[in-house]
Structure 1
Amino acid sequence: MTYRDVVSPQVLAWSLTAVASRLPVAMAPLALVFLVRERPGGYSLGAILAAAYVVGEIVGAPLLGMRLRPDRARPQLAAGLAAGSAGFAGLGLWPDAHAALLAAFALLAGGAPAGVAGGLRTLLTTLVPERAVQQALSTESLLMSGVWAVSPAAVTGLALGVAPRVPLLLGAVLMAVSVAGLWFLPAGWASGGADGKSPAGPSRARALVGAWPVFVTGAASITLLGLAELVLPALLEQRGIEVGWAGPLLAGLAVGSGLGAFLYGLRAWPGRLGTRSAVLMCGMSACVVVAALSPTTAGIAAALVVGGMLQACVLVTRNLSLREAVPPEAVAAGYSVMYAAASAGYAATGSLAGLLLKVTAPSTAVLAGVGLALVLTAAGWWGEVRPAGSTARGDRPVGRFADAPKAVAPGPEGPPIRGGGDAERRL
């Protein structure tokens, strides 16, 4: 298993489009805080705008993802990105507008393009042979780790060095550029239906409900990561370490995430996908515990780098599990629901951290969050292994779609699929 099958002009075009569409998303929360911080009650207003943006993502991802049609994905994705660009432009052009109008722009900027991530991920898997899906998803995770690593520095530099509105105007331009990038990619993907049409909404919704363990474990990983990020400044103060180390430590976490995604795609890994995710989550939890209890900067840094590596592996595994858990026509919607679950998990983590820090020490708050993440992990693992029976090979539980005649991400459960015909390129 190598990355050679992922290297192509179309994957390069996809990468540029994905980065252009995701960098504004990564910049948005911090950019909103900088936009209004000099107004009366600016930091509180910035938190409200960031919350409106996240609410837009949580609501928009499943709502719009469920409506994505494989046969006309391009215009739908373009419309979402164009509307998101308009939301970012409104924030940047009228930074002194009434708080309600800014919140509406933030809601639009977060919600309108929220279904794009799932659609682009589905498009990516159609650009490579089926045997290279794991490498493609690892490549996506590597790219997104880079995006999230550079976005804080980009926002801070532009907002303080040029003007607070500039990061949001840049986000509007990047999203508009990503609309043009869609025309260098396939117009859609195969629906998997016998008549070439995707099934009705209720059928797709039932399929996604059956995949709840995948979403629970994915949300648990983001919850754990969010906990480490949000409590880190308070944790450093508790240990008597300069709070300024928070930036470099989080950058190290992002670098570790990118490295983990790259290494994960280099080979096949043993075990069921669900069990593998649970083991990786336990390892990630251990890293967060070490970071919470370590008295030194070096110990915290090492724990966060390794934890970032494991978290990237969890996300790739979850994406592969989703492809096995739902029929082909529901995969793009499933990615969008997972995105919403991750956003909800991160938002819940912020609320939980805020409450716990009022009544307990930062290290105790982290340990409580780790306990919650492990409970969610156990629930997700139980939900995945619960179906009775297994395949003849005995390496994967028989779910609703385990024996369906569809192309499934090969991963480590079986030998690589040879060849590269159209049948392997369909979801």
Structure 2
Amino acid sequence: MASTTYRALITRPVLSWAAVAVAARMPVAMAPLALVFLVRERPGGYVLGAELAAVYVVGEVIGAALLGARLRPDRARRHLAGGLGAGAVAFAGLGILPGAPDLVLGAFALLAGAAPAASPGGLRALLTEHVDTGLVPKALSAEATLTYAVWAAAPAAAGGLAFGVASYAPLLLAAALMALSVAGLWALPGSWEADESDRAGVSVIRTLATAWPVYVSGAAAMSLLALAELVLPALLEQRGLAVSWSGPLLAGYSLAAAAGALLYGLRSWPGRLSTQSLVLLLGVSACVAAAAVIPSLAAVAVALVVAGLLQAGLQVTRALGLRAVLPQSALAAGYSMMYSAVGVGYAASASLSGAVLSIALPSTAILSGVVLTLLLTVASAVGEVRLVRAKAYAPAEQ
């Protein structure tokens, strides 16, 4: 029987995939902060930077939904190379023309977000469809760990280059890395197998729509992350604690999430995927709520570490959940749709917390965001019950 330990993933194809994934995702992780640093010295630069970052995220959401639905197993490399290549050009434009008019920078930011937005789903499909079935949960856990590591390193890389070299340096690095990821695609399989009979006569959109409860729970999970990231500095100030603690606290969250992803893949867990997801989502909600109401810095730190551990497992269950409800031919598009959904969840939570912060305390803003998450959780749970009745929703394969 094939080995089902993490060691079995240490192969040349998987390591090549990891190198391409890092090169493709580091620019994405650096982009919002790099855009703020790019224009911060202009009059009103921080406002413009926030607007460019928002345009970038909108581009990601739109690109993931529209381009992800067009991914085809037999033309995967061509689609991914085109999107990543266009993204590299857009990042290069931002870095080479930092003094361009606002509208030009906005157009580049939109393209940089939208063009490569299908690549996370396509790369995940290339990973999971070319490892043994028994290794898929561990492959997804390892992917989540890699993602959290990239997101933990990206702010330091963007800040170090912007302040140590030049304001446009992070964007030039992003362009170079994304161009390298295009070249690296030729070290990976060019496609994956798909049984088109799984969805014969059914449109891609209708096929993807059947998994809506999974997307909703993904959006709920990301809304919690938005609360932790965006409201934490204000919460610390409300408690009379040093705002400078927000960086170490969020770093602890990211490190805990990386560890949690590996932990989830180490063993089999009881219950159906939908049940696991519900329990983890409620656990993360409880941790974020505890951080809002307990004034101790140590308690906030513990709550965020536990939230990170649970959040990572939640991310893996959602990816496995898509595999359980979508045909193989639609998986890459489904992963991209999930990427779009979590972007919407982040934006919705950010908007709600920002609105509440203008009239109430930061702790109240966090609790209002938790309420939004719980509403999304209820909707997702009801939808997944219907999915279970319509189709056997298998427990996580370990």
Sort the TM-score into its range (normalised by shorter chain): over 0.9
* Contact 1:53/1:107, CA 8 A, preserved across alignment: yes
Q: Partner residue of 2:353? A: 353
Give the counterpart letter for 1:106 in structure 2.
A
Partner of 2:267: 267
Report what 1:339 is aligned to. Answer: 339
1:35 aligns with 2:35: no
Richer in helix (by share): 2
Kindly indicate whether the alpha-carbon contact (under 8 Å) linking 1:224 and 1:285 is maintained by their aligned counterparts in 2.
Answer: yes
1:198 Cα deviation from its structure 2 partner: 8.1
Residue 179 (structure 1) aligned to one of 173, 178, 182 = 182
The answer to whether 1:399 aligns with 2:390 is yes
Matched, 1:296 2:324: no
Residues 70, 198 of structure 1: 8 Å contact kept: no
SS state of the match for residue 313, structure 2?
helix
- One-letter amino acid of the structure 1 residue matched with residue 256 of structure 2: G
Give how far 1:44 is off: 1.0
Q: How does 1:59-78 map to 2 (within 5 A)?
A: 59-78=62-81
Residues 69 and 198, structure 1, Cα contact 8 Å, conserved in 2: no
Q: Residues 71 and 333 of structure 2 are in contact (CA less than 8 Å); yes or no, is this contact kept in structure 1?
A: yes
- The structural deviation recorded for 1:192 is 1.2
Offset of residue 386 of structure 1: 2.1
Post-superposition CA distance 1:362-407 (Å, at most 9, x none): 01111111111011111111111124xxxxxxxxx2435x49xxxx
1:320 offset after TM fit, Å? 0.3
Q: Distance in 1 between the 2:180 and 2:389 partners?
A: 43
Among 94, 119, 123, the alignment partner of 1:120 is: 123
Q: Structure 2 length normalisation: TM-score?
A: 0.96
Distance verdict in 2 for CA 1:199–1:173, change over 3 Å: farther
User: Mapping of 1:146-161 within 5 angstroms?
Assistant: 146-161=149-164
The percent of aligned pairs where both chains have the same amino acid is 59
SS in 2 for 1:411: coil
Within 5 Å, give how 1:166-245 maps onto structure 2.
166-194=169-197, 203-245=203-245
Cα offset for 1:337?
0.5
Provide the C-alpha distance between the structure 2 equivalents of 1:152 and 1:39, rounded to a whole number of angstroms.
21
Inter-partner Cα distance in structure 1 for 2:118 and 2:379 = 26
Q: CA deviation at 1:5?
A: 2.7
Comparing 335-344 with 348-357, greater Cα deviation is found at 348-357
Partner amino acid for 1:211?
A
Alpha carbons of structure 1 residues 39 and 199: separation in structure 2 relative to 1, 3 Å: farther
Following superposition, the deviation at residue 353 of structure 1 comes to 1.3
Displacement of 1:4 in angstroms is 2.8
How many pairs align?
395
Give 1:261 shift.
0.1
Give the alignment partner of residue 168 of structure 2, picking from 158, 162, 165.
Answer: 165
The equivalent residue for 2:101 is: 98
Match among 74, 79, 82 for residue 79 of structure 1 = 82
The Cα of 1:199 is off from its aligned counterpart by 5.9
- Which residue number in structure 1 is paired with residue 8 of structure 2? 5
Mapped to 2, the partners of 1:22 and 1:399 lie a distance apart of 36
Give the letter aligned to residue 306 of structure 1: V
CA contact (8 A) 2:199 2:207 kept: no
In 2, distance between residues paired with 1:5 and 1:116?
Answer: 25
3-state SS of 1:386 partner: helix
Gaps of 5+ in 2: none
Aligned mates of 1:188, 1:50 — CA distance in 2 = 32
Structure 1: gaps of 5 or more residues: 388-396, 417-427
Cα distance, 1:294 vs structure 2: 2.2
Distance 1:199 1:183, change over 3 A: farther
Q: CA deviation at 1:46?
A: 0.6
Instruction: Confirm or deny: 8 A CA contact 1:5 1:128 kept in the other structure.
Output: no
User: 1:198 and 1:97, CA in 2 relative to 1: closer, same or farther beyond 3 A?
Assistant: farther
Give the aligned partner of residue 422 of structure 1: none
In structure 2, relative to structure 1, the CA distance for the partners of 1:165 and 1:198 (3 Å cut) is farther
2:141 is aligned, of 124, 129, 138, to: 138
Quick one: distance in 2 between partners of 1:327 and 1:70?
A: 12
**CA–CA distance in 2 between the matches of 1:337 and 1:309?**
24
Is contact 2:67–2:117 with CA below 8 Å preserved after alignment? yes
1:283, 1:310 within 8 Å by CA — same for their partners in 2?
Answer: yes
CA distance in 2, matches of 1:74, 1:373: 36
How far is the alpha carbon of 1:127 from its aligned partner?
A: 2.4
- Distance in 2, matches of 1:168 and 1:343, equals 21
The equivalent residue for 2:256 is: 256
CA distance in 2, matches of 1:366, 1:238: 12
CA contact 1:211–1:322 (8 Å) conserved in 2: yes
CA contact (8 A) 1:26 1:147 kept: yes
**Which amino acid counterpart does residue 95 of structure 2 have in structure 1?**
G
Q: CA deviation at 1:153?
A: 1.1
1:25-44 Cα deviation digits (max 9, x unpaired): 00000100010011011111
- TM-score normalised by structure 1 residue count: 0.90
Return the offset for 1:318.
0.3
What does residue range 312-327 of structure 1 map to in structure 2 within 5 Å?
A: 312-327=312-327
1:33-61 CA-to-partner distances (Å, cap 9, x unmatched) read 01001101111111111111011101100
Matches within 5 A, 1:381-396: 381-387=381-387
Report if the CA contact (8 A) 2:288-2:303 is conserved: yes
* 1:129 paired residue among 129, 132, 137: 132
Contact 1:323 1:331 in 2 (8 A): yes
Aligned counterparts of 1:168 and 1:186: Cα–Cα separation in 2: 29
1:277 alignment partner in structure 2: 277
Tell me the alpha carbon deviations over residues 132-152 of structure 1, each in whole angstroms, 9 at most, x when there is no partner: 100000000000000010111
Q: For 1:169-201, what per-residue CA distance to the aligned partner results, in whole angstroms no more than 9, with x for missing partners?
A: 00000000001111111000012125xx9867x
The ranges of structure 1 where at least 4 consecutive aligned residues each deviate by more than 2 angstroms after the TM superposition are: 197-200, 397-400
